[in-house]
């Protein structure tokens, strides 16, 4: 990978390169000049001010057209509105030479000597292939949704920060037939931005921004420090890519295997089906857990498998089912044979109780408690203080209790009765 550092550069009808240190160094693209980045070259803007890269006259054009042909802007702890004048391929390269600038407005500065890198490319095919490096699918409810997605990926990658900056973003797009038309089925007025969650390895369900079909831009895209993911697509909001599953895991417990999963948001979600296999190939229905319907907040779910042996490897698959019957399977997780030795002997009393329960044999170990309702949804969670906990705020009835103790994360499960 080659780097080209910009200290002071003016590109117009001629090129002037100033080698020297200046207080304010800038790169100006003038009179519709083209700067074509190829062969994984990185153009480094080594000035954190928002005016370090600008255009003048009839504007300027930076052609990226590959994920690794990037503009790296060393923004650091600065704030402001940063505009990268990206342009689609010129006609000589089979494109439309459409100006598609990306704008990032930083309102809360990051910490550390970080930078933001920008790039974009038009996909070869209407099914959005070749995929961006992190992307593994374009599937949603009902299967492949690639024909509801513009044939282009955008990349805005904040790196080198201790805490990433926050603000908003505007993505511009080419509404010509090669990116929006063809075999695609897209209503331009429905467009919004959607990002790939590289942690969950899935498309995050949340949609961002408001489309302006006159300027061909989706603006008001929220950027936060905690989930400043780099890969973006523009999609039809009537066919968003799949619901994000934040977590799906299985842990050995004292009397079974505890299955846990968490969603960031849910739309039209009737239930989850949990399936079990002892060989990873043949799966059988284990149970169903009710979903949260429509939710824009995080939801956590739990189920204790006491039906199958903990002495051998087990495989679990989670299936999400909409109210309209459409389902999606999530990747399989497995659990090795559980070890049952050297665990504390924990009990809860009195049980039933009017609200306050006591836990025995915790000793000096740290402990955390979770209480679940009959649907497997968490209704109480807390660090265990004074070997007791209070459920007075809950309705009378039966609950599952999970106590996690010690550095080895021993899981103990109880059926509580509050009366």
Inform me whether the pLDDT recorded for 65 exceeds 80.
yes
Q: Are residues 68 and 191 in the same domain?
A: yes
Inform me whether the pLDDT recorded for 383 exceeds 90.
no
Q: List the CATH number of the domain containing 40.
A: 2.60.220
Confidence of residue 357 (pLDDT cuts 50, 70, 90): confident
Residue 316 covered by a domain: yes
Q: Are residues 187 and 251 in the same domain?
A: no
Residue 21 covered by a domain: no
Helix, strand, or coil (residue 383):
strand
Arithmetic mean of pLDDT, 275-288: 87
Arithmetic mean of pLDDT, 30-52: 92
Q: Are residues 155 and 304 in the same domain?
A: no
Q: List the CATH number of the domain containing 365.
A: 2.60.40
Q: Are residues 49 and 188 in the same domain?
A: yes
Non-local (6+) Cβ contacts of 92 within 8 A are: none
Q: Are residues 214 and 280 in the same domain?
A: no
The closest of 35, 33, 30, 32 to 4, measured between CA atoms, is 35
Distance CA 77, CA 135 (A): 30
Arithmetic mean of pLDDT, 14-25: 35
CA angle 282, 204, 124 (to 5 degrees): 90
- DSSP-derived letter for residue 255 is T
Arithmetic mean of pLDDT, 313-342: 78
Residue 220 covered by a domain: yes
Arithmetic mean of pLDDT, 390-396: 87
Residue 417 has what pLDDT?
Answer: 73
Q: Are residues 180 and 297 in the same domain?
A: no
Q: Are residues 392 and 268 in the same domain?
A: no
Query: Of 305, 335, 365, which closes a domain?
Result: 335
Query: Of 303, 335, 367, which closes a domain?
Result: 335
Q: Which residue has the tokens 């598609």?
A: 100
Query: Of 180, 214, 236, which closes a domain?
Result: 236
pLDDT in tens, 120-176: 999 999 999 999 999 988 876 556 889 999 999 999 999 999 999 999 999 999 999
Q: Are residues 101 and 228 in the same domain?
A: yes
Inform me whether the pLDDT recorded for 6 exceeds 50.
no
Are the C-beta atoms of residues 371 and 412 closer than 8 Å to each other? no
Q: List the CATH number of the domain containing 331.
A: 2.60.40.10
Are the C-beta atoms of residues 283 and 317 closer than 8 Å to each other? yes
Query: How many domains is the chain partitioned into structurally?
Result: 3
Residue 107 covered by a domain: yes
pLDDT in tens, 176-214: 988 998 888 898 999 999 999 887 778 876 778 999 999
- Mean pLDDT, the chain, integer: 83
The closest of 177, 167, 277, 170 to 223, measured between CA atoms, is 167
Residue 39 covered by a domain: yes
Q: Are residues 185 and 292 in the same domain?
A: no
Residue 15 covered by a domain: no
Kindly report the pTM of this predicted structure. 0.60
Alpha helices in 25-183, H assignment, sequence order: 177-180
Of all residues in the chain, the percent with pLDDT exceeding 90 is: 39
Alpha helices in 32-157, H assignment, sequence order: none
Q: Are residues 111 and 204 in the same domain?
A: yes
Distance CA 120, CA 234 (A): 12
Non-local (6+) Cβ contacts of 148 within 8 A are: 184, 185, 186, 235, 236, 238, 239
Question: Domain range spanning residue 147?
Answer: 27-236
Distance CA 305, CA 335 (A): 12
Q: Are residues 281 and 210 in the same domain?
A: no
Q: Are residues 228 and 265 in the same domain?
A: no
Residue 7 covered by a domain: no
Residue 12 covered by a domain: no
Q: Poorest-confidence range of 78-82, 183-187, 328-332, 355-359?
A: 328-332
Distance CA 332, CA 249 (A): 9
The closest of 407, 388, 402, 401 to 343, measured between CA atoms, is 407
Inform me whether the pLDDT recorded for 356 exceeds 90.
no
Q: Which residue has the higher pLDDT, 200 or 225?
A: 225
């Amino acid at each position: 990978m080659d780097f080209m550092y910009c200290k002071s550069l003016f590109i117009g009808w001629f090129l002037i390169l100033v080698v020297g240190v200046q207080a304010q160094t800038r790169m100006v693209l003038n009179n519709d000049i083209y700067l074509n980045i190829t062969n994984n070259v990185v153009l480094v803007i080594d000035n954190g001010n928002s005016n370090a890269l600008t255009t003048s006259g009839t504007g300027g054009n930076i052609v990226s057209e590959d994920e690794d042909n990037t503009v790296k802007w060393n923004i650091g702890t600065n704030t402001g509105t940063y505009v990268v004048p990206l342009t689609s391929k010129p006609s000589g390269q089979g494109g439309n030479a459409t100006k598609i600038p990306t704008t990032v407005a930083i309102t809360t500065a990051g910490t550390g000597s970080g930078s933001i890198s920008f790039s974009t490319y038009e996909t070869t095919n209407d099914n959005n292939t070749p995929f961006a490096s992190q992307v593994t699918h374009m599937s949603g409810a009902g299967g492949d949704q690639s024909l509801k997605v513009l044939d282009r990926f955008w990349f805005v990658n904040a790196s080198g920060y201790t805490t990433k900056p926050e603000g908003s973003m505007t993505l511009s797009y080419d509404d010509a037939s090669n990116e929006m038309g063809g075999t695609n089925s897209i209503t331009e007025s429905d467009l919004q931005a959607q990002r790939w969650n590289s942690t969950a390895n899935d498309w995050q369900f949340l949609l961002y921004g408001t489309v302006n079909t006159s300027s061909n831009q989706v603006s008001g895209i929220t950027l936060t420090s905690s989930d400043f993911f780099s890969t973006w697509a523009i999609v039809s909001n009537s066919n968003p890519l799949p619901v994000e599953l934040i977590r799906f895991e299985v842990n050995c417990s004292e009397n079974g295997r505890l299955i846990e999963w968490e969603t960031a948001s849910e739309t039209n979600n009737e239930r989850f089906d949990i399936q079990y296999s002892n060989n990873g190939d043949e799966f059988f229905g284990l149970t169903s857990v009710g979903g949260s319907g429509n939710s824009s907040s995080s939801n956590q779910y739990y189920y204790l498998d006491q039906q199958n042996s903990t002495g051998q490897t087990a495989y679990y698959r989670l299936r999400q089912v909409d109210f309209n019957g459409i389902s999606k399977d999530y990747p399989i997780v497995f659990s090795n044979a559980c070890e049952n030795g050297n665990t504390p002997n924990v009990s809860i009393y009195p049980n039933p109780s009017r609200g306050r329960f006591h836990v025995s044999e915790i000793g000096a170990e740290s402990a955390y408690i979770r209480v679940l309702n009959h649907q497997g949804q968490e209704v109480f969670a807390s660090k265990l203080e004074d070997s007791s906990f209070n459920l007075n705020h809950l309705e009378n009835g039966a609950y599952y209790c999970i106590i996690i103790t010690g550095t080895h994360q021993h899981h103990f499960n109880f059926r509580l009765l509050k009366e």
